[in-house]
Structures are given as structure tokens and as C-alpha cells.
Amino acid sequence: MRKIAVLGGGIAGVTTALELVKNDANRVTLFESKAHILEGTSARTPGRMGLGFHYLADLDSASQYLHSTVGFARQFPGFILGQGQSHLTRGRYFLVDDPSQRHGLSLPKIMSVIQALQSAYASLCEQDPANQLFGPPDQFFRVLKQDQLNDRINSDKVILGIETCEALLDWFKFSNHLKQLVCHAQNLSIFTNTPVKTVRSIGDYGFYINGEPFDQVVNCTWENMESIAALAKLTSPNTASLRIKLLAEVHLPPALLNMHSSFFCVGPYAMFSNMGKGVGRITYAPVTNYFHTQEAALPQEMASLVTQCAQTPAIEHAGRQIIDGVAQFIPAMRHASLKKVYPGVVRTYGTNMNIYDPQSDIHRRRERGIEQLSPHWVNNAAMKLFHALPNARDAAVLLRADAAHKETI
Ligand SMILES: Cc1cc2nc3c(=O)[nH]c(=O)nc-3n(C[C@H](O)[C@H](O)[C@H](O)COP(=O)(O)OP(=O)(O)OC[C@H]3O[C@@H](n4cnc5c(N)ncnc54)[C@H](O)[C@@H]3O)c2cc1C
């Protein structure tokens, strides 16, 4: 049997481990530093099941997101939040009336990307009707009329509103489902409270992880990816940037209980995701984008912020500023009360990290996050939650090829 170490138990690590144990020849050990799996950045998002509307400046990124999300919903049906409740399953996008922030992105260009996405979704449904998980292609999006634009939105700030069939993932239900799957998986051992501290290469034979030998490694440690690979003296060919984002969770005021999730763009302005049961998750770019670096690791203070998720006075203050920021777009949000602020990390490749420029590398996410650093070592960062599944399959294929190669020599 091949011994494979999977490092990190977020959505990337867990789905990779499950994919690898489908092959009876693999024995997989997953190392997670926290007390439980699936509690890192993967648990600190609104879980937008994006169909591409998020990346209107780049059709390739948008279309890749669409394909991953449809593939995910197909493999894991039944995890869409609030099925059948239109305000929970039809996210809205509002184009903000600020040409200075659009950097060459005109209204016709935006509409052409949206129409291309609709055609791509229609093709997926035509290829296989089982792909029609987000409704009929002709209802993929609709342009909102003026009275709908005024609905709870500060319409002075927007020039176009679109309702889409983007929904949110029921993360609580889905993560519990993954936990059940790993509990019942054969040949899979999970070690929580077990940070990867030492890595040593043993040449063609693989790596020692915390002193134990493995034939192959999949590194899914997200913000620690580069520093863990460096322990094995491996470096990525790509320049990654790490960005800490603060996501505020709020109790919604009565006026917003049935409001559609709404995203104010282009450029990163504000986001409201209606999670149901009176809870919203919100971001406001100037406050949410808390820290960013192109170093291989977060500085200690920032790493602790992410690990401990402590609700310090400064973090709570930032949470209230996020509420005020979103209230510029959704006035009733000022009556929301803060529940908790989640610090999470976003990885991006490239060097143009100007969040306010829709053409920057932040808004162009073509990479899914798979990198093979040596024949026996694959880095797997799920650059979006839903890229985790195609990435897991890619990682398994790369390691199988490595094993087959070893058998021939
Ligand atoms: C605010 C915010 C909003 C987002 N919204 C969305 C969205 O709506 N839709 C979407 O698709 N994506 C979204 N994302 C992106 C998404 O969260 C990530 O793409 C995804 O969670 C990455 O998954 P992961 O498994 O790679 O990382 P993680 O979930 O962080 O998993 C990494 C794991 O590795 C563990 N680990 C780290 N170091 C070690 C070590 N040394 N030893 C052992 N274990 C270690 C960590 O404890 C963690 O459990 C959002 C991100 C943020 C921050």
C-alpha cells in the first residue's frame, strides 16, 4: 500500500483524503492542527455557490467558477441553503455608480460576460439535464426593474441590478456530511490537534512528516502552504499573496429578514449574504480587507488572529464599522447587531493586489490551486470552496502517475 499524508483538514484536505481512499492501494493519514477538522477559513465564508457573477472582469475566471460550482452541486445535491426560498437562492448583484472604480469595465462589457455565462450554463444543461441544478437557463439572471432596484437598497448608489440564480451553501449541513464520510472511510486516519512541525525529504522514497515516513504528500494547509513546503525545501513557481478578510456575522433587523443576498460591485464594495434564521454575513471592503502580504507566511500576530478568532475590542470595532459600511448601500443594516467577526484568509496568485482595480490579480482567479512541487509532493489550495472537488481529483491523478512511474523503475 502507498502511504500518503494529507496536511490540513479544511475542505481541500478532507475532499482530497476522501478522493485518495477511493483507491484501495492508498492508506491516508490526515494531519490537522486544530481540535476539529473543517474549522479553518472554509468555515468562515458566506458559502456563495458562485456561478461566475463575482468575476465580471474576467470571463475565464467566471466560467471556471461556474463549472466547479455546478460539478459540486451535482456531486453533493441537497446542500443549497433555503431550497425553494427565492430570497435565499437568488443572489443579487448591483453595479455601483462609480465609473472611476470601474477601470475600463463598461456596462456593455459586463452584460456580454453575463450573457456568455448564461450560454455556458445552457450548454452544461444541454450536455446533461442533470446539470440543471440552478433552474432553467432562461432564468439564469434577470435585470431588475427600477422599483425592485429601490427595494431596501440605496438606489442613488447603483445603476444596474441583476438577480441571479446563485445560492449559498448550507455549510453546517455539508461539513457534518463530510465528517460522517471521513468517519466511515476505510484506510483513512485523522489526527487532530496535530500540527505539522517537521518535514524531511527522503529523496525518491518520499518524506518524513513529524518523524513518520510517507511515500507521498498533499499539502492543503492554505495560509501555511509555503512555509510547510519550505520545510521540505520545496518552493512554488507562483507568487502567492495572503489576505486576511474580516467577515461580520450579524443579527438582521426585521426589515432585512427576507432580503436577497446582495453584492455591490464592481471593485470590492460591500456584500450581504442572507444565511436565513435572521442571520446575515457581511463585508465592507475598506474594513474587511484587514491585512495583506506577499511573504511566504503571515506574521505571528496575524497568524494568531486567524487561529484564535478572538473577539478583541479592536476586532469588534471593525465589525461595527463593517455594519456602518454596508448600511451605505442597505440603509436598514444600521439596525443590525454584531454577533461575531470571523477572520479568514484568501490566497491569490500574481502581484497586482490593488483590491479597488477590477483588472487586478485579486479579481482574476484562473488558478484552481494545484501545483506539483516534486514527483511525490502536491500543493492543493482550494482557491474557491467549490474548486476543492476538481482539485482533489487532480491531486489523486498526479500521485497515481508518480506511483505508476515508480513501479516501472
Ligand atoms: C471572507 C471570505 C469569504 C469567502 N467566500 C467564499 C465564497 O463565498 N465562496 C467560495 O467558494 N469561497 C469563498 N472563500 C474562499 C474559501 O474560503 C477558500 O477558498 C477555502 O476555504 C480554502 O479551503 P482550504 O481547505 O484550502 O483552507 P482551510 O479551510 O483554511 O483549511 C486549511 C486547514 O489546514 C490546517 N493547517 C494549517 N497549518 C497546518 C499545519 N501546520 N499542520 C496541520 N494543519 C494545518 C488549518 O487548521 C485548516 O484546518 C472566502 C474566503 C474568505 C476569507
38 CA: nearest ligand 1 atom: 49
CATH 3.50.50.60 range(s) for the chain read 2-41+173-238+368-408
The upper half-sphere exposure of residue 318, i.e. CA atoms within 13 Å in the direction of its Cβ, equals 23
> What is the residue type of 246?
L
CATH number of 2-41+173-238+368-408: 3.50.50.60
Instruction: Work out the burial of residue 314: count CB atoms within 10 Å of its CB; fewer than 13 is exposed, 13-18 middle, 19 or more buried.
Output: exposed
69 CA: nearest ligand 1 atom: 11
> What is the residue type of 131?
N
* Contact 42 CB / ligand 1 (< 6 Å): yes
Which is it for the CA torsion 294, 295, 301, 302, positive or negative? positive
Distance 41 CA to ligand 1 centre (A): 3
Ligand 1 pocket: which of 45, 284, 349 to mutate (most atoms <8 Å of CB)?
45
Give which of 301, 383, 380, 305 is closest to 346, Cα–Cα: 383
Give which of 136, 134, 138 is closest to 165, Cα–Cα: 134
CB distance 250 to 327 below 8 Å:
no
pLDDT of residue 400: 94
- Rounded to 5 degrees, φ, ψ at 45 are -135, 170
* Contact 364 CB / ligand 1 (< 6 Å): no
Distance 247 CA to ligand 1 centre (A): 13
* Contact 220 CB / ligand 1 (< 6 Å): yes
What's this model's pTM, rounded to 2 decimal places?
Answer: 0.96
Distance 137 CA to ligand 1 centre (A): 31
247 CA: nearest ligand 1 atom: 1
* Contact 382 CB / ligand 1 (< 6 Å): yes
Distance 325 CA to ligand 1 centre (A): 25
24's CB contacts (< 8 A; 6+ apart) are 187
pLDDT of residue 150: 81
pLDDT of residue 15: 98
* Contact 386 CB / ligand 1 (< 6 Å): yes
CATH number of 78-168+240-363: 3.30.9.10
User: Which residues in 134-145 are b (16+ Cβ under 10 Å) and which e?
Assistant: beebeebbeebe
What is the SS3 string spanning the chain?
A: CEEEEEECCCHHHHHHHHHHCCCCCEEEEEECCCCCCCCCHHHCCCCEECCCHHHCCCHHHHHHHHHHHHHHHHHCCCCECCCCCHHHHCCEEEEECCHHHCCCCCHHHHHHHHHHHHHHHHHHHHHCHHHCCCCCHHHCEEECCHHHHCCCCCHHHEEEEEEECCEEECHHHHHHHHHHHHHHCCCEEEECCCCCCCEEECHHHCEEECCEEECEEEECCHHHHHHHHHHCCCCCCCCEEEEEEEEEEEECCHHHCCCCCEEEECCCCEEEEEEECCEEEEEEHHHHEEEEECCCCCCHHHHHHHHHCCCCHHHHHHHHHHHHHHHCCCHHHHHCEEEEEEEEEEEEECCCCCCCCCCCHHHCCCCCCEEEEECCEEEECCCCHHHHHHHHHHHHHHHHHHHHHHHHC
CATH 3.30.9.10 range(s) for the chain read 78-168+240-363
* Contact 222 CB / ligand 1 (< 6 Å): yes
* Contact 195 CB / ligand 1 (< 6 Å): yes
Distance CA 396, CA 206 (A): 16
* Contact 9 CB / ligand 1 (< 6 Å): yes
Reading the chain (409 residues) residue by residue, the pLDDT tens digits are 899 999 999 999 999 999 999 999 999 999 999 999 999 999 999 999 999 999 988 999 999 999 999 999 999 999 999 988 999 999 999 999 888 888 888 899 999 999 999 999 999 999 999 999 999 999 999 999 988 888 899 989 899 999 999 999 999 999 999 999 999 999 999 999 999 999 999 988 999 999 999 999 999 999 999 999 999 999 988 888 999 999 999 999 999 999 999 999 987 799 999 999 999 999 999 999 999 999 989 999 999 999 999 999 999 999 999 999 999 999 999 999 999 999 999 999 988 888 888 888 888 888 899 999 999 999 999 999 999 999 999 999 999 998 888 777 7
